[in-house]
Structure 1
Amino acid sequence: MIRVLLADDEAMIRAGIRAILGTAEDIEVVAEASDGHEAVALTHRHRPDVCLLDIRMPRLDGLQAAAELRRVAPGSAVVMLTTFSEDEYIASALGSGAAGFLLKSGNPRELIAGVQAVAEGGAYLSPAVARRVIARLDSGQLGKQAGARARIEGLTGRERDVLALVGAGLSNAEIARRLHVVEGTVKAYVSQILAHLDVRNRVQAAILAYEAGIVQED
């Protein structure tokens, strides 16, 4: 069972997210917090597998709480919850080590898939968030694209396929079904890709895939 802490200062948002997560048989919300300080305290007490943190919260915002959680509870993966109006927060957090970024108004399946992915040690970036961040950071995009394409030059054709699907927000299981391989093979490919690109997690790999222009829109 994946144990989740949910932190958001709006009770209705928490109720909605809890209801969505409740439809997954392998996910249990073990604690709820209304601000960053409470989220840190409850994480220290309950040691959840995944912490879902709203970026904007009173007393201690999500980014500050995430930094504190990396210190006191490194075994709990952090996923940031955001809205389209908070791109600058996402941009500043991309290198912070958060394992995922999800849009509050996104598809409920993304919320479940994101929690499952980070609980397995991976990372998850909502495709809509990825597109928005890349668009916001778009000054000098041609130079970025050239640099990103140079970085992926050494990947094999299959590794590029996997990277593109990571950029599209698919989980390892979904990639395996798409490419007609076993999930263990996908995990091996992802590890090779992260090592080759010298990135820390799937979030950074997904951004690079977008910058290189290899992610196909559905």
Structure 2
Amino acid sequence: MARVLLAEDHEIVRRGIRSLLESYGDWEICGEAADGPEAVRLAIQERPDVAILDYFMPKLNGLQVVRQVRKVLPQIQILMFTQHDNEDLIRDILRAGVRSFLLKTEADEHLIRAVNALSLSQPYFTARASEAMLASFISSRKPAPHLTARERQTVQFIAEGASNKKIAAELGVSVKTIETHRSTAMRKLGAKSMAELIRYAMRHKLVEP
């Protein structure tokens, strides 16, 4: 019996996913998380076979969760829920080791098959996802400037409306360190204002529009 972790910040959506999986009968739901740090903690604690992650979660998004979890559990099979088949997003999550991603509109039709494939250590992609992957592969777009993991977290928190003091408390660092991360991120991105920094976060799916 495969053990499955659910990470989704909307409780009603989480209930729906759990109900759908439990109706299948062959999987154990070993944990539920409502934000990114909780997803990391539960994944390391429970060591599930499959993790189902929403991309847009508070504090850490799904991609950041994947990167942290796979450092400890490299064999974990991960399904990412997204709302957009954005080329940059697809490229990033595949590079991070995600083995399946579904648009939320596809969940009813494909979730069971996707989790079943992952429980057998097989990837699963829908036709729509495959088309988006192909477009990403052949795209010649200039890559975005590289931000460190902490810089991306800082930008995400800023876009979510958090103050420097709150970000510092969440990340366990000083306010001065957060100010440095913010300044460095703005310099790398060529952002001249906080509004431009927030637009970057939305464009690159660090936060939900």
Interval containing the TM-score (normalised by the shorter chain): 0.5 to 0.7
Equivalent pair of 1:103/1:126 in contact (CA under 8 Å): no
Which blocks of at least 5 consecutive residues in structure 2 are unaligned? 141-209
Q: Provide the residue aligned with 2:155 in structure 1.
A: none
**CA-to-aligned-CA distance 1:35-80 (integer Å, 9 cap, x gap):** 1110010111111110111111111111110011111222321111
Equivalent pair of 1:103/1:128 in contact (CA under 8 Å): no
Per the alignment, do residues 2 and 70 of structure 1 end up closer, same or farther by CA in structure 2, a change over 3 Å counting? same
Deviation at 1:136, TM superposition (A): 6.0
Partner Cα distance (2:56, 2:43) in 1: 18
Deviation at 1:138, TM superposition (A): 5.9
Per the alignment, do residues 6 and 129 of structure 1 end up closer, same or farther by CA in structure 2, a change over 3 Å counting? same
Letter of the aligned partner of 1:103 in structure 2?
A: L
Q: Provide the residue aligned with 1:114 in structure 2.
A: 114
Answer yes or no: is 1:51 the counterpart of 2:67: no
Matches within 5 A, 1:102-141: 102-135=102-135, 139=139
Q: Provide the residue aligned with 2:163 in structure 1.
A: none
Q: Percent of aligned pairs with the same residue? A: 38
Partner Cα distance (1:115, 1:58) in 2: 24
Letter of the aligned partner of 1:53 in structure 2?
A: L
Deviation at 1:135, TM superposition (A): 4.5
Equivalent pair of 1:7/1:14 in contact (CA under 8 Å): yes
Q: Provide the residue aligned with 2:22 in structure 1.
A: 22
Q: Provide the residue aligned with 1:92 in structure 2.
A: 92
CA RMSD of aligned residues (A): 2.0
Deviation at 1:15, TM superposition (A): 1.2
Give the length in aligned residue pairs.
140
Answer yes or no: is 1:67 the counterpart of 2:67: yes
Letter of the aligned partner of 1:122 in structure 2?
A: Q
Q: Give structure 1 regions of 4+ aligned residues with deviation exceeding 4 angstroms.
A: 135-140
Partner Cα distance (1:3, 1:139) in 2: 37
Partner Cα distance (2:126, 2:83) in 1: 11
Matches within 5 A, 1:123-202: 123-135=123-135, 139=139
Which blocks of at least 5 consecutive residues in structure 1 are unaligned? 141-218
